[in-house]
A and B are shown apart, each in its own frame.
Chain A
């Protein structure tokens, strides 16, 4: 009896964790649909590596105070912005912010990572270099706004 309940609970837990991971198309599948950057704008990619740790914690990601997407394990989105200062923030039990600069024509990468908190995990936005960011994004799934077909 107890064994049966444990097994069922394990199945439910696995299903919940799987549902928590990003399930959109892989970067390679939508690469051709990603529009070219407009002149005079820069592009910011925001991603989270696939991990079961804190998978259920999926806060909104704000870029310059506006919701731009969600921090979801194995997911990425991008936002095009005018050049200048950029603030990326996430909130769980505390708010965590990252400030960075963005030039026209520049692409930058921000990774959101899970850290320990008092009651729930915290999500930190971190600036990463382009080589590491591009490699990680290539392994994640697109969770942004629907893209027009090429």
Chain B
């Protein structure tokens, strides 16, 4: 029992020392032009609360503006224009929102050229912004 406890403590210490958080799970994704949406601007009409698998929640305020920068297999890729979006695991990554059917389904990581899915898509209603 004493040894088991000691082993558990060592494992816990090792986990803490290694930084606790797991790496953001992602898969390679190819960003393609999104015709005819490319370059269109959208604004979130409600706040969005996303809970990535890595355990660090992310929120997007209502009124956040995005521009369509392309498409991946999972949906439209929206880059924030005035703010920044990141996702975090063991490390932090700049991220763009991936949107499909009125929902935030995951994140596109532009540096890693990869897609990180949300375990549960979050509602993300958008309104197209016509005026500059």
Q: Which A residues are closer than 8 A to B by beta carbons?
A: 85-87, 93-101, 117-119, 122, 124-129, 131
Q: With contacts A99-B109, A99-B112, A127-B86 known, is A94 near B92, CB below 8 A?
A: no
- On chain B, the number of residues with a Cβ less than 8 Å from chain A's Cβ atoms is 17
Could you give, for residues 17-60 of chain B, a 1 whenever the CB lies within 8 Å of some chain A CB and a 0 otherwise?
Answer: 11100000000000000000000000000000000000000000
Question: B86 contacts A101, CB within 8 Å?
Answer: no
In addition to A87-B111, A127-B92, 18 A-B residue pairs with Cβ atoms within 8 Å of each other are A85-B111, A93-B17, A96-B19, A96-B91, A97-B91, A98-B91, A98-B92, A98-B94, A99-B92, A99-B94, A99-B109, A99-B112, A101-B94, A101-B110, A101-B111, A126-B92, A127-B86, A127-B94
Contact of A128 among B16, B18, B82, B84 (CB under 8 A): B84
Q: Which residues of B contact A (CB under 8 A)?
A: 13, 16-19, 82-84, 86, 91-94, 109-112
Contact partner of B92 (CB less than 8 A), chosen from A86, A118, A124, is A124
